[in-house]
Structure 1
Amino acid sequence: MRILLIEDEAELAATIRTLLEREQYIVDWADCLSFAAEAARGGAHDLVILDRTLPDGDGLTLIPALRATNSGVPIIILSARNELTDRIAGLDEGADDYLAKPFAFQELLARIRAVRRRPGELHLDEVRIGELVFDMTFEEARVGELRLELPRRETCVLATLVRRRGRTVLRETLERAVYGFDDEVQSNTLDSHISRLRRKLADAGAGVEIHAIRGVGYLLRDSA
């Protein structure tokens, strides 16, 4: 899953980003409204964590633009502004949740899981394809009782393919899901991730295949 973190405190942002990346999330960081608006324009993010007090204005003013480009994206406000009127304003403006600073990181993770379980983009907790079971909330794959130990980027590839199972996923879509703004991407890097993922799925007896659509992208389907 790819998260857009909008936070102007560099030290706090670095800490949140490091912790989220340990949880297998891809994180892009923006430190102001203007950069965040540009980052969000492609609609590539699965979730937004939004501070309110930013150098160029109130983070709430960004919510309409976020909704315009990615209408179903969950938005969690993370702010030191914690008066009742502040929380009400954030939720009324369209945020899905409001978490006050200081906060416990485990609570932030729980709230991320909670907003992703709500009706919207994902309607199932688990998706089954062949013998593969993919937990959409925790982004974990298993075959039978075997949990597949996948690196973060391979997990992102599989999650993106599972969400669009039976449909061709463009290379550009996969790359946006897997790589952050700061990543240097070689032309064959995505293919390498997919090659390793194919091998692991086959070794586990997942009963699925990742089919290459030459010059376009990839498609996940039942191999039966």
Structure 2
Amino acid sequence: MSVRPPDPPLRERWDRRMEIPLAVASLVFLAGYAVRILAGSHLPKAWVDLCLAVILAAWAVFGVDYAVRLRLSGQGVLRFVRTHLLDTVVLVLPLLRPVRMVNLYYRLQGRRDTPRFSLYARVMVYAGLSASLLGFAGALTVFRFERDAPGASILTFGDSVWWTCATLATVGYGDVTPVTPMGRLVAVGMMACGLALLGAVTGSFSSWLIQVFTREDEREDEQRPPGGSPGA
């Protein structure tokens, strides 16, 4: 006997209620991870354990949210994983949570019939925040694996941040590059995310420009005298 899916408002209420807790948990997770990477060797063991506890607690919040959304979906586990692949990847790799912000761009595309600049501006702001958070997380991860690797050119966190900015912007100067397998794997992900974020921002800005030009043309047509020509 199949389980009847719950009403959509119930899922929507859960999503709205979890927006702030998930955002806070994401920042807490990132902060704990950053402290462990940047100051782990200089911290007392008690502080290191505290950072680990904070990271695990934030991860638990992500897991509870995923489980509740799975239950509310009324779908089987395998089907839910297939239809929410990005959410599943983010659960396994919480540092990728900023990538979920890109989904906002695609959701807004379904509302193109009534475009408003505030929506497009919001997409660009969210994409910028996502790029910043994702870049910071990527820089931390690359720095963790590269700083002690033989022949590494990324020796400081500043080097890692510089490399991250060049990679997300798809510039790729090549003055510093990862040499470890994990560093290169992170680089591939950063390239893909950089292209996606740039595409979201560029697409939103282009759509807004087209909207502005279309309104100007319609305004000129309304002000033009009946029977007149553009060159009259």
Larger radius of gyration, structure 1 or 2? 2
TM-score, with structure 1 as normaliser: 0.29
Larger strand proportion of the pair: 1
TM-score, with structure 2 as normaliser: 0.28
Larger helix proportion of the pair: 2
